[in-house]
Amino acid sequence: MQPRPPLSQRLRPGQRFVVEVAAGLGYGLVAWVLFAHKIVPWPLAFGGTALVALPVAIGQRRLLLGFACALVGFWLAPWAPLLPFLAVAPLGYVLYLVAGRYPARTGLPVLVVALTGPAATALTGRAGGVLPFAVVLVLCWTVGYARGEHRRYGDELVRHHARMAQVERERARRGAAEERMRIARELHDVVAHSMSVITVQAGFGRLMVRERPDEAGAALAAIETTGRQTLAEMRRLLNVLRADGAPDTPADLTPTPGLADLEQLVTRTGQAGIRVELTITGQHRQLPAGVELSAYRIVQEALTNVAKHAAATTANVAVDYLPHELVIEVTDHGRGGPVASTGLGLTGMRERVQLYGGHLDAAPLPGGGFRVAARLPTPALDAVEEPAT
């Protein structure tokens, strides 16, 4: 719920004007009752009362005019010695506003000019009021300046946090875009590999169609299977490329990894000082290359997070082939902790899982440690839906 602003900020302009005018009239009445009625002649008494009441009424809107009126009240001390006692509060009020609204390079010259008012009281032959009046004015200016510095610091702090939040959002957006582009490049490699297989099989089938029709039929079957898989991967690739991303970089020429490479990944992780136990259950079968690539990357990123953040020495990787999905679970027994809101590793995992319509769960374990569990749907290769033309 949004905090409620103070009363002064909730007032409408018309209401604020009425309050300020009422405050000016009230101060003028108090000034008249206390000292102003004793001033002679009476035009000077009425004029002096108006001068000291006007800054209270218009100080918020017309600082310069209010400052001038209050200062004139001091300068009239030789003709009305009681008037400075009535002008000190309005002049201090205006100095408080000036010091709060403007920086020191503007507020200090105004304070220097204001101090000519207490000096003018010495022209009456009584210099005893110069120092008290000056101390009051300096104190009002100091309080206003301190309040203004606090307000300016708060405003700058809010702007700083807004800038940092914008930078963080931009960094997260760039990170997500770069991750999408990396996934797209990898899927491009999968599709390019599949098209190479189709080309080779088609050439082989053309040569063998007359001499060895059985082998030619097998080649055509391989083309059909690979073609269906390639069409599915191409559809996912185009969906990824719809998002904005970073400029492409030269593609990696190493073979596309899959589930068969998990043993090597576990071995490399063990060389980093983390003992990983790999468990593969279920009926092993051929999966779409994109699914295998995503599964491999999920395990790789999860083990990378274990090495970087978990402070663990052991981890477990479980891969389960279910009839219609592949289940991956990576757990460790490290220090656990909440999921980082700005990390890109989990973002990449979610991007890969969502690409295939799966589900990812990443959370600390109750007794310590962390668990990453992913479910990737695995349709049969011969059941891939043909894209609409």
pLDDT tens per residue, range 302-342: 888 887 776 778 899 999 999 889 999 999 887 765 555 44
DSSP helix/strand/coil, 212: coil
| pLDDT beyond 50 at 250 | no
CB 360 within 8 A of CB 373: yes
pLDDT recorded at residue 342: 45
| 234 shares a domain with 265 | no
Mean pLDDT of the chain: 78
- DSSP code, position 384: P
What is the DSSP track for 161-196?
A: HHHHHHHHHHHHHHHHHHHHHHHHHHHHHHHHHHHH
Q: What is the mean pLDDT of residues 183-188?
A: 67
pLDDT tens readout for residues 51-73? 888 888 877 778 888 888 888 88
Given a cut of 50, whether residue 143 has pLDDT beyond it is: yes
Least confident of 182-196, 217-231, 306-320: 182-196
377 and 288 in a common domain:
yes
* Domain identity same for 106 and 27: yes
Structure token digits, residue 222: 């391989």
Taking the CA atoms of residue 33, residue 39, residue 45 and residue 50 in that order, the dihedral angle to the nearest 10 degrees is -60
CATH number for the domain spanning 307: value is: 3.30.565.10
Domain boundary among 128, 144, 164: 128
Residues 88 and 36 in one domain: yes
Of 94, 128, 162, the last residue of a domain is 128
Q: Do 294 and 195 share a domain, yes or no? A: no
Number of structural domains, the chain? 3
In a domain, 250, yes or no: no
Residues 268 and 375 occupy one common structural domain: yes
Q: Are the CB atoms for 269 and 312 separated by under 8 Å?
A: no
Amino acid at site 116: T
Task: At 69, list the tokens.
Answer: 């009126």
Whether 15 maps to a domain, the answer reads yes
pLDDT at 299 over 60: yes
**Between 214 and 133, residue with greater pLDDT:** 133
Residues 101, 23 share a domain: yes
Q: Confirm whether 144 is domain-assigned.
A: no
| pLDDT category of residue 139 using cuts at 50, 70 and 90 | very high
Residue 155 covered by a domain: no
Residue ranges making up the domain that contains 373: 259-383
Is the pLDDT at 246 greater than 50? The verdict is no
pLDDT at site 385? 43
Q: Which element (helix H / strand E) includes 120?
A: helix 116-120
Judged on CB neighbours under 10 Å (0-12, 13-18, 19+), 308 is exposed
pLDDT at 386 over 60: no
Last residue of a domain, one of 210, 241, 272: 241
The answer on 297 and 216 residing in a single domain is no
How far is 62 from 299, CA to CA, in rounded Å? Answer: 69
Residues 90, 184 within the same domain: no
Q: What is the reported pLDDT for 238?
A: 63
- Percent of the chain exceeding pLDDT 90 equals 10
Per mean pLDDT, which range of 103-112, 175-184, 298-307 is the poorest?
175-184
Backbone φ, ψ for residue 142 (5° rounding): -65, -45
154 membership: H or E segment, kind and range: helix 130-208
Any domain includes 24 = yes
- Is the pLDDT higher at 297 or at 242? 297
